[in-house]
Amino acid sequence: MFQEDTVIHIINTIHEMQAYANRSMGRKKSIAFVPTMGFLHEGHLVLMREGRKRADILVVSIFVNPAQFAAGEDFDSYPRNLDRDLDLARKEKADVVFTPDRTHLYDDGFQTYVNLQKLPNHLCGISRPIFFQGVATVVTKLFNIVKPTVAIFGQKDYQQLAVIKRMVRDLNFDIEIIGVPTVREQDGLAMSSRNSYLTPEERPAAFSLFKSLNTAQRLCNEGIQDADQIIHQATAIIHSHKNTEIDYISICDPDTLEEVKTITNPVLMALAVKVGKTRLIDNMIVTP
């Protein structure tokens, strides 16, 4: 019997997931989809709650996608805890957790990638040149497998959300993309699975990302429009902590991600900073 309303289904194969999606469509049930790389935290749970509200069936995927990690990045050490993730997904009343095997998504002959021409050429795409190709490719594959009507992503990964929205438009996916505001720890640090790498001593430095964003808004409120001046102040805040290495601090157009020199309209301020060995990102829309 088809029991997606009462029992969590753990699906490992593409064929089974597609069959589930087809049966759901046949029964006129809509699917909300939350793609994740697992090691779930409150930020993911908020995405699931949003999905739960927006469709009949909630599907969560857990897949650490090798295609978005470059050599030397943390693919092997990326935190994983499937049992805990399944418990959390169950508590959030997910209907399906889709956990495909790496070889199912990328077999030996795999050679088709999705690339965007402009959005990846900014912010994280500069120091992580294959990252958005990997994200766009796996999200396309997951969309074709899960067949959602709506998919939910966090605004913490602002550029990722922008890339996916653009890709959905460009490739005519019939899927609504919802961005959900960043969920923060009590001290303001944006929630991320990678926060588990941080030592207690590194927390103040990690918090300095959010502090520098708030400082930017305060400077704008005081009438400062010069982006370089604001970036200079943000840099000083981050560098006041040892073991920090700034990848970028950017003030840019929220749609194109092109740099802005004079702030006359709302802008995106985004930054990536390594605290010890942990690369953290955060962002905020700053309004003049």
* Binding residues for ligand PAF (CB under 6 A): 35-37, 65, 68, 135, 138-139, 157, 160
Question: Out of 9, 15, 41, 44, which one is annotated catalytic?
Answer: 44
- The three-class DSSP label of residue 244 is strand
Decide whether 44 or 238 has the Cβ nearer to ligand PAF.
Answer: 44
Q: Torsion angle of alpha carbons 279, 201, 41, 187, nearest 10°? A: -100
Decide whether 85 or 157 has the Cβ nearer to ligand PAF.
Answer: 157
- Say if residues 194 and 280 touch (Cβ distance below 8 Å): yes
User: Could you give the CA distance from residue 156 to residue 159 in angstroms, rounded to a whole number?
Assistant: 9
Q: Rounded to the nearest whole angstrom, what is the least distance from the CB of residue 231 to ligand PAF in the complex?
A: 26
Decide whether 46 or 263 has the Cβ nearer to ligand PAF.
Answer: 46
Which secondary structure element, helix H or strand E, spans residue 269, and what is its range? strand 267-275
Pairing mode, strands 244-252 and 267-275? antiparallel
Q: Rounded to the nearest whole angstrom, what is the least distance from the CB of residue 75 to ligand PAF in the complex?
A: 11
Decide whether 263 or 281 has the Cβ nearer to ligand PAF.
Answer: 281
User: Could you give the CA distance from residue 51 to residue 178 in angstroms, rounded to a whole number?
Assistant: 9
Q: Rounded to the nearest whole angstrom, what is the least distance from the CB of residue 98 to ligand PAF in the complex?
A: 11
Q: Is 104 a catalytic residue?
A: no
Q: Rounded to the nearest whole angstrom, what is the least distance from the CB of residue 264 to ligand PAF in the complex?
A: 32
Active site residues: 44
